[in-house]
Amino acid sequence: MHLLLVEDKDSFRRLLVQALEGSGWEIHAVAHPQEALAVLEATPCEIMVTDLRLPAMSGLELLKRAKRMRPELRVLLMSAFGEPSDIVEAMAFGADDFLPKPFDLDVFQATLERLQALTEAPSPDPREPWVAQSPSMSALDRTLGNLAESGASTLFIGERGSGRTRCARRLHTLRHPKAPFLTLDAASLGPEGPRGHQLAMLKGGTLHLQDLDGISPEGTQGLLRALGAPGIHWSGSASSLESIPAPLRPKLGVLVLSLAPLRERREDVLPLFRASLEQAARRIGRIPPVIDLRVERELLSRPWIGNVAELLWLAERCLSTCPDALLAALPTFQGMSQNLLELSWPDPGPLESMLARVQEQAEALLIRRALKANGSKLMETAQALGITHRLLSQRLREHHISLEDGGSGTP
């Protein structure tokens, strides 16, 4: 994992580098903010540590520019002269933590470990659309609120794509919104169960096991051994309670919540579509189109075989195919080539930077298509793409792609 360290005082920079030797970090230590921006341009850094007072540019300005370049970047600020107003502004622009100088090196390392955990298992976006207007979802929402103080393991039962993992994220956010959250495809588990480093980084967070219907006997044994790990909240999803291996039911099913398919909660369709359209528009800096009444009627009449996953996909599709202020019709695909790869133009800049953005878009679209073709199954998708399931899981996190939502992005 790449760490960018920005500190203009040579002696303190060397001290921090020495403190991190042997800890597995690939460290890029620089003294000037322009050097830091050059590193970010060329290197996929996950974490940046920077002083607030720097030559030629403040750490706050560096934070803003770095976040524009890499929105997923985790940032730790440090300063001996940090004003409360500066710290508040830095947090508003995406800083994750602040350490006043001088600080204990053990505290420094522990803070980096927490940021590393959030990088590998990011906490859910609190802005993720959550709609609970139908009677069944309203009741489920009240139940999740009541469970916020409980650490009991929870199973979400329902059809694929109905929002089971979304409900798990909702419960996690109500319990501890800034803690790490990791989703694993149960079919990817082997005899060793979840990996040791995954359990270590999830202390205080949640491990959600998706599609327990597909877990193997070896994976079941490995998971049973891991379920005793302290400090972790466990949740899982499946199409039915009976489809989960019997030994796992009493361990993971302390609380069992059923989720109705979208076609049985019509009251949620329009609000969820609007919220998803707004979220997608916000992500690309655009005002969402107004939805025509005819489109609303069509949305309400759809069978929604793909559940919430289909709705999210449709919202993304509408935004990419409707350049106008009014969404007058839902997109159709008759006569369209299935071989088209639609990419948006990257922001103007150096050629290498624009190519990197285009490559990032293309990779995300190819992964989504492969997921759809393989029924959102992690192992089969990884095999089809010729990569390991671990690398695929990493790419899913980087592109904010959710297996539960049928390959839709959830930033």
In a domain, 102, yes or no: yes
User: Phi and psi at residue 231, in whole multiples of 5°?
Assistant: 80, 10
CATH code for position 349: 1.10.8.60
CATH code for position 250: 3.40.50.300
Examine the fold and report which residue of 260, 290, 312 is the final residue of a domain before the chain moves on: 260
If asked whether residues 37 and 141 sit together in one domain, one would say: no
In a domain, 37, yes or no: yes
If asked whether residues 78 and 158 sit together in one domain, one would say: no
**CB within 8 Å of 248: residues ≥ 6 apart:** 212, 215, 220, 223, 224, 236
DSSP letter (8 states) at residue 208: E
- pLDDT at residue 336 in the model: 37
Q: Which two tokens stand for residue 211?
A: 């599609």
The DSSP secondary structure of 364-401, one letter per residue, reads HHHHHHHHHHTTT-HHHHHHHHTS-HHHHHHHHHHTTB
If asked whether residues 295 and 235 sit together in one domain, one would say: no
If asked whether residues 268 and 300 sit together in one domain, one would say: yes
If asked whether residues 306 and 361 sit together in one domain, one would say: yes
In a domain, 409, yes or no: no
Q: How distant, in Å, are the alpha carbons of 163, 193, 231, 279, 311 from that of 267?
A: 15, 40, 38, 19, 14
- pLDDT at residue 406 in the model: 53
- pLDDT at residue 337 in the model: 42
In a domain, 365, yes or no: yes
Query: Reduced to 3 states, what is the DSSP secondary structure of residue 215?
Result: coil
Sheet of 206-210: strands edge to edge? 181-185, 206-210, 233-238, 154-157, 255-258
Q: Which of 106, 56, 123, 68 is nearest to 48 (CA)?
A: 68
If asked whether residues 293 and 368 sit together in one domain, one would say: yes
If asked whether residues 27 and 75 sit together in one domain, one would say: yes
406, 376 Cβ separation under 8 angstroms = yes
- pLDDT at residue 348 in the model: 67
- pLDDT at residue 209 in the model: 95
Examine the fold and report which residue of 244, 260, 276 is the final residue of a domain before the chain moves on: 260
Per-10-residue mean pLDDT for the chain, 411 residues long? 93 94 89 94 92 89 91 90 79 88 91 89 88 96 94 94 94 93 91 88 92 93 91 94 94 94 96 93 88 95 90 89 89 52 68 78 85 81 82 81 59 34
If asked whether residues 290 and 221 sit together in one domain, one would say: no
Outline where DSSP puts E strands in 25-146.
26-30, 47-51, 74-79, 97-100
Examine the fold and report which residue of 260, 278, 308 is the final residue of a domain before the chain moves on: 260
**Residue in the block written with tokens 């949305």:** 299
CA 262 from chain center: how many Å?
23
If asked whether residues 253 and 268 sit together in one domain, one would say: no
In a domain, 27, yes or no: yes
If asked whether residues 60 and 141 sit together in one domain, one would say: no
CATH code for position 110: 3.40.50.2300
In a domain, 62, yes or no: yes
Please count the structural domains in the chain: 3
If asked whether residues 160 and 100 sit together in one domain, one would say: no
In a domain, 129, yes or no: no
If asked whether residues 274 and 377 sit together in one domain, one would say: yes
In a domain, 404, yes or no: no
Residue 53 is part of which domain span?
2-120
